[in-house]
Amino acid sequence: MRALIQRVSEASVTVDGKRISEIGPGLLILCCAMQGDDEKVAEKLAERVSKLRIFKDEAGKMNRAVGDIGGACLVVSQFTLAADTSRGNRPGFSAAAPPEDGGRLYQHFARHLESLGPPVQTGEFGADMKVALLNDGPVTIWMDSADRP
């Protein structure tokens, strides 16, 4: 599973002109299930994200996790994180999990993340979403479950 994590002051998702979710300070997490991923992979990534210390402490150092600051998470599915651009200008997405697996693992990731403490809002899997955010920092972190055992 892959995730692009952004520390935000606020973020929201709109589908068909209606705002379906929004958060204040916290994390916007764009995530993509990859071929071969399972629930265990989704849970491990959620645990890593929940412990990611990218919020400032009293000394101004990035030393706090989202739960430490009372922040929330907005989890948005984004299969384009699986893009392979090695063969030209048109990206390929064959490394992404099939939609039925991707949707299930996306929801599992979001539910497991919420079970670890922070409130979680989600986008709508497979929808044409408009994502708005105010990046705080900016702080943007790339995580890939393949990078770690």
Answer for the pair 95, 144: CB distance below 8 angstroms, yes or no. no
pLDDT of residue 22: 98
Nearest to 47 by CA among 1, 7, 103, 102: 1
Q: Are strands 120-122 and 72-77 parallel, antiparallel or unpaired?
A: parallel
CA dihedral 32, 92, 97, 103 (to 10 degrees): 50
In this model, does residue 6 exceed pLDDT 80? yes
How many folded domains does the chain comprise? 1
Domain that holds residue 35: 2-147
Q: What is the mean pLDDT of residues 107-131?
A: 97
pLDDT of residue 147: 75
Answer for the pair 29, 4: CB distance below 8 angstroms, yes or no. yes
39-96 per-position pLDDT tens digit: 999 999 999 999 999 999 999 999 999 999 999 999 999 999 999 999 989 999 999 9
CATH of the domain at 61: 3.50.80.10
Answer for the pair 25, 8: CB distance below 8 angstroms, yes or no. yes
Mean pLDDT of the chain: 96
Provide the greatest CA pair distance for the chain: 47
Work out the pLDDT band at 148, boundaries 50, 70, 90. low
Q: What is the mean pLDDT of residues 105-126?
A: 97
Answer for the pair 124, 13: CB distance below 8 angstroms, yes or no. yes
Catalytic residue numbers read 78-80
In this model, does residue 149 exceed pLDDT 60? no
76: enclosing H helix or E strand: strand 72-77
d(CA 121, CA 102): 17
